[in-house]
Every structure is written in structure tokens, then in C-alpha cells.
């Protein structure tokens, strides 16, 4: 029982933060954390220690979150962001006129941060989770791939598209001020 208490004490906060990062409401996020612990306790024998316990729990959380999103058919519109990016260059690979637009400040002001946070809400749950694990949790590429069940190459493309999407959104938000 002490082990359970330690588990809950140590991992509730990062798991809750992760569920919120995936874009769930506070009540859904709390339910997901509970489901994650229940699933872990039921199948704890399957944990072989090949990844860290935290990564293993994040993996369960991610899959539970994906199930919940599917059940609600919460799909994010898929726009071909690479085509949007490519269209900003001429055949020689140089920027077309007026591109890129948006902020060029060196420091992160509150206004820019708020715009980026709003844009991040529009990313898919997978992209948000990848960013959360990479930037907020500082997980390695290998651990992130384990959680998301994707290859190195897939993760690289996923993050590339997510950064382009964020920049594109930031540009549009900035222009519309």
C-alpha cells in the first residue's frame, strides 16, 4: 500500500499536466489520470522496466486519451501544412514576397506567448503530447517514441509539421490583431 501511495504522490501531478497538455478539460484529465493508475495496477506485471515507470505511465495515459478522443470523434482538421510551407518559396528555394510575416521580437512577450498558447490548442493530441514530453518533461526521443508508438522518423516529421503549423498560426494571429 505504501508503494501505491508513493506512486500516486509522485506521478499524479505530471500525469495530470500531461492530460491537460493533450487538450482535455480538467474533469476529463482527472478521469484519465485515474484510469491510467487503474490500468497500471491491473496490468503491473506487464511492466518489464524497459522504459522508465514515468514513460510507461505516460504511454497508458496517451492511449487512454486517444481512446477518449476517438469515442468523441474529436478530430482536428488536417491541413497539408508542408504544402502551405512549400508554397511560400519560389522554384529557386527563396521566400516569395512578404513571407514570412508575424512577430520578429527577440524576447517572448506576454502577447506572443498568449498567441502561441492559443495556437498550440489547435494542434492534434499527438503533436501536443510530443511537444509536452520533449519541451516540458525533457524526455528523450527514444522515450517519446515509446509513449506515442511511433518511429524516430515519424516523430521528426510530426514535430516538424507541428512547428510549421504553430508558426503559420502565429503569423495569422499576428496579422489579424
Please tell me whether residue 87 binds another protein under the rule CB under 8 A.
no
Query: Of these, 2, 3, 9, 175, which contacts another protein (CB under 8 A)?
Result: 9
Which residue number, 43 or 113, has a Cβ lying nearer to another protein?
A: 113
Would you give the end-to-end CA distance of the chain in angstroms?
54
CB 148 to another protein: min, Å: 16
* Residue 176 binds to another protein (criterion: CB under 8 A): no
Coil vs helix vs strand at 111: helix
Q: DSSP letter string over 2-58?
A: HHHHHHHHHHHHHHHHHHHHTT--HHHHHHHHHHHHHHHHHTGGG--SSS-HHHHHH
Phi, psi of 89 (to 5 degrees): -120, 150
Nearer to another protein, 9 or 75 (CB): 9
Residue 30 engages another protein in binding (rule: CB under 8 A): yes
Q: How far apart are CA 146 and CA 51, in angstroms?
A: 8
Burial bucket for residue 147 (CB in 10 Å: 0-12, 13-18, 19+): buried
Q: Contact between 48 and another protein (CB under 8 A)?
A: no
Query: Of 112, 122, 141, 154, which lies in the binding site for another protein, with binding defined by CB under 8 A?
Result: 112
Residue 122 in contact with another protein, rule: CB under 8 A? no
List residues near another protein by CB under 8 A.
Answer: 1, 4-5, 8-9, 12-13, 16-17, 20-21, 26, 29-30, 33-34, 37-38, 41, 85-86, 89, 92-95, 99-100, 102-106, 108, 112-113, 116-117, 120, 131-132, 135-136, 156, 159-160, 163-164, 166-167, 170-171
Amino acid at each position: 500500500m505504501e508503494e501505491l501511495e508513493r506512486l500516486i504522490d509522485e506521478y499524479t501531478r505530471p500525469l495530470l499536466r500531461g492530460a491537460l497538455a493533450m487538450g482535455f478539460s480538467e474533469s476529463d484529465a482527472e478521469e484519465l489520470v485515474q484510469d491510467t493508475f487503474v490500468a497500471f495496477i491491473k496490468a503491473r506485471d506487464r511492466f518489464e522496466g524497459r522504459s522508465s515507470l514515468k514513460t510507461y505511465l505516460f504511454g497508458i495515459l496517451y492511449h487512454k486519451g486517444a481512446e477518449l478522443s476517438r469515442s468523441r470523434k474529436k478530430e482536428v482538421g488536417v491541413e497539408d501544412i508542408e504544402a502551405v510551407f512549400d508554397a511560400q518559396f519560389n522554384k529557386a528555394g527563396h521566400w516569395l514576397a512578404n513571407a514570412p510575416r508575424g512577430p520578429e521580437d527577440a524576447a517572448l512577450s506576454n502577447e506572443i506567448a498568449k498567441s502561441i498558447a492559443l495556437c498550440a490548442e489547435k494542434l492534434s493530441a499527438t503533436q501536443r503530447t510530443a511537444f509536452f514530453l520533449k519541451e516540458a518533461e525533457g524526455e528523450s526521443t527514444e522515450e517519446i517514441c515509446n509513449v506515442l508508438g511511433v518511429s524516430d522518423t515519424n516523430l521528426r516529421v510530426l514535430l516538424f509539421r507541428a512547428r510549421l503549423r504553430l508558426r503559420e498560426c502565429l503569423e495569422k494571429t499576428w496579422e489579424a490583431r
